[in-house]
């Protein structure tokens, strides 16, 4: 086959190093940017809508009778913010400390999702204007069985980010203890019913994958060992938390494994950023990340068939590994085939390489979303290029974009002063200028940074 174009050589595309704190910020920002960019293309078949390369109004939903204004992000980002907020503040709100998994509580996460769904908290426009069927099913079950409190996440009257004053607690009375025990019993029954009712393959949507990125951002330090070494046991802890985060609304095994493998990728990126300060290991490349996805111990056949590949013994050097991947890996075969069929945009945006919707579906099925987001990441060489690929896929474009945007924001993101241009292009700056409620995204990112700084293995 024809060798890949120079920009697609994966071993030369290296992780843009920055502080883990900066990467957390860019992971959330990247999620929101591509979510908002892709919103107008949602529900549309590929190649049937105008080429998307700038923020535009979203006519799929309305705000006061008018299309959503440009820069409005959707349910994907709202749920990311809910999960991030829950993880970052649960410990301080409940006086916990010192245990693995601090901050992680499925009931608290579901309460946060309910407050978004029912009250519009963590929404770009103050109300929930879109929610997936599986998520709605889970939240209806949760509210019916637990009756969660109606405290707010982000309203002006209740400021969740001032947790030291808002959530200060008195010593519990015996009545409080009984009430807590009763509520915990209800919560356990609700979680069991969610698992029983929506674990089948029919419920394998992308609603847990789209929001999972805060897990890796919050807990990546479990995988940072002494002198920057990668701690495999700590990595397993974080991936297990990702699976648990899925079970609140998507207990299906495929959904859990998609969240697990995606979180492992985020952990590896942040580990390399932290370890780079203390060791001289060669810089992490896209080839290294593809090897992670290719060697992951999948239990779900559909993921195994699409991503797992065994290298022959003679493939020892990076050029040999990459050559083998380009000629044998199912994902890179899609990339190399579609590279011959580039789509030229009617503007100054970069030409993109997109297969047909049949060859690379971008539906709400979690497998399709994961593969489409990975395609955009490995077929592109900048944040902007991959984002434009995602949103022009149509169908569930906003969610594919959000999933890609979190990973790519983590990979390319850095401050403008240290920018290589791979994140902060002129077009991405325009997207950022149009993005709504950046202050809310910043506040949750700050909470996650502060929380991640406290995370240490016992």
How high is the mean pLDDT of the chain? 88
3-state secondary structure of 70: coil
Confidence of residue 95 (pLDDT cuts 50, 70, 90): low
Residues 22, 415: contact at Cβ < 8 Å?
A: yes
Residue 179 banded pLDDT, cuts 50, 70, 90: low
The tokens describing 254, both together, are: 């495929």
Check: CB of residue 231 under 8 Å from CB of residue 220: no
Residue 111 tokens, joined: 């309460």
pLDDT computed for residue 227 by the predictor: 82
Q: What is the pLDDT of residue 276?
A: 84
pLDDT tens, 25-47?
999 999 999 999 999 999 999 99
With 0-12 CB in 10 A as exposed, 13-18 as middle and 19+ as buried, what is 171? exposed
Dist CA 120 CA 114 (whole Å): 9
Runs of H (alpha helix) within 380-414: 383-391, 397-412
Six token digits for residue 450: 């502060």
Tell me the backbone φ, ψ of residue 182, rounded to 5 degrees.
-65, -45
The pLDDT value recorded for residue 1 is 40
DSSP, collapsed to helix, strand or coil, labels residue 58 as strand
**C-alpha to C-alpha distance for 277 and 253, rounded to whole angstroms:** 37
pLDDT in tens, 281-294: 668 999 999 999 99
* Contact indicator for 390, 360 with CB cutoff of 8 Å: no
Residue 91's pLDDT is 76
Q: What are phi and psi of 276, to 5 degrees?
A: -60, -25
Instruction: Give residue 36's pLDDT.
Output: 98
What are the two backbone dihedrals, phi and then psi, of residue 153, each rounded to the nearest 5 degrees?
-90, -45
Stated as kind and residue range, the H or E segment containing 180 is helix 174-197
DSSP secondary structure string, 279-344? --PPPPBHHHHHHHHHH----SHHHHHHH--PPPTT--SHHHHHHHHHHH-HHHHHHHHHTTSEEP
Q: Where are the alpha helices (DSSP H) in 330-382?
A: 330-338, 366-379
- Over 60: is that where the pLDDT of 6 sits? no
What 8-state DSSP symbol labels residue 300?
S
Residue 280 has a pLDDT of 62
Summarize the confidence of residues 434-442 as an average pLDDT: 97
- Alpha carbon 5 to its chain centroid, in Å, reads 28
Give bridge partners of residue 85 from the DSSP assignment.
none
Structural domains in the chain plus CATH codes: 6-452 (1.10.4080.10)
Dihedral angle sign, alpha carbons of residues 51, 52, 57, 59: positive
What pLDDT, in 10s, does the model give residues 266-320? 999 999 999 887 776 668 999 999 999 999 999 999 999 999 999 888 767 888 8
Q: Check residue 8 and give its pLDDT.
A: 58
Helix (H, G, I), strand (E, B) or coil at 392: coil
Q: How far is residue 91 from each of residues 29, 61, 176, measured CA to CA in Å?
A: 24, 36, 19
pTM: 0.90
Residue carrying the six token digits 């909470």 = 447
**Position of tokens 């790519």?**
408
Poorest-confidence range of 11-20, 153-162, 349-358? 153-162
Annotated binding site: 396, 398-399
CA distance 331 to 232: 26
CA torsion through residues 95, 101, 441, 211, sign: negative
CA-wise closest residue to 220 among 258, 281, 269: 269
Annotated binding site for Mg(2+): 396, 398-399
C-alpha gyration radius of the chain? 21
33 contacts 435 by C-beta, under 8 angstroms: yes
pLDDT of residue 23: 97
Indicate if the pLDDT at residue 260 is higher than 90. yes
**Token pair for residue 37?**
């960019």
* pLDDT score for 270: 97
């Amino acid at each position: 086959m024809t060798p890949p174009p120079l920009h697609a050589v994966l071993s030369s595309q290296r992780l843009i190093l920055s502080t883990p704190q900066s990467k957390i910020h860019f992971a959330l920002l990247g999620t929101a940017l591509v979510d908002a960019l892709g919103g107008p293309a949602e529900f549309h078949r590929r190649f049937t809508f105008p080429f998307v390369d700038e923020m535009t109004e979203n006519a799929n939903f309305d705000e006061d009778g008018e299309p959503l204004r440009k820069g409005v992000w959707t349910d994907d980002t709202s749920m990311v913010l809910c999960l991030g907020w829950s993880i970052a503040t649960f410990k301080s709100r409940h006086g916990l400390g010192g245990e693995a998994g601090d901050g992680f509580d499925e009931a608290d996460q579901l309460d946060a999702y309910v407050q978004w769904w029912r009250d519009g908290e963590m929404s770009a426009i103050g109300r929930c204007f879109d929610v997936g069927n599986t998520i709605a099913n889970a939240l209806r079950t949760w509210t019916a069985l637990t009756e969660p409190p109606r405290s707010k996440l982000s309203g002006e009257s209740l400021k969740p980010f001032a947790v030291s004053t808002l959530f200060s607690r008195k010593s519990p009375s015996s009545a409080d203890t009984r009430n807590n025990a009763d509520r915990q019993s209800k919560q356990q029954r609700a979680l069991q019913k969610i698992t029983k009712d929506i674990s089948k393959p029919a419920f394998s949507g992308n609603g847990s994958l789209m929001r999972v990125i805060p897990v890796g951002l919050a807990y990546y330090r479990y995988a940072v060992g002494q002198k920057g070494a990668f701690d495999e046991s700590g990595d397993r802890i974080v991936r297990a938390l990702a699976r648990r985060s899925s079970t609140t609304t998507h207990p299906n095994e495929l959904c859990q494994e998609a969240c697990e493998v995606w979180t492992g990728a985020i952990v590896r990126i942040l580990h390399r950023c932290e370890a780079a300060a203390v060791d001289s290991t060669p810089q992490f490349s896209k080839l290294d990340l593809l090897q992670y996805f290719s060697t992951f111990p999948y239990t779900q056949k559909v993921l195994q068939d699409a991503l797992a590949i065994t290298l022959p013994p003679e493939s020892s050097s990076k050029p040999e590994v990459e050559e083998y991947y380009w000629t044998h890996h199912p994902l890179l075969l899609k990339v190399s085939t579609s590279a011959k069929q580039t789509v030229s945009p009617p503007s100054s945006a970069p030409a993109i390489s997109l297969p047909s919707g049949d060859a690379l579906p971008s539906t709400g099925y979690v497998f399709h979303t994961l593969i489409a987001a990975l395609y955009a990441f490995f077929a592109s060489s900048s944040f902007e290029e991959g984002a434009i690929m995602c949103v022009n896929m149509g169908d569930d474009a906003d969610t594919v974009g959000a999933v890609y945007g979190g990973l790519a924001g983590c990979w390319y993101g850095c401050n403008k002063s240290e920018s290589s241009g791979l994140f902060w292009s002129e077009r991405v700056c325009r997207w950022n200028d149009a993005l709504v409620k950046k202050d809310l995204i910043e506040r949750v990112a700050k909470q996650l940074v502060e929380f991640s700084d406290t995370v240490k293995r016992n």
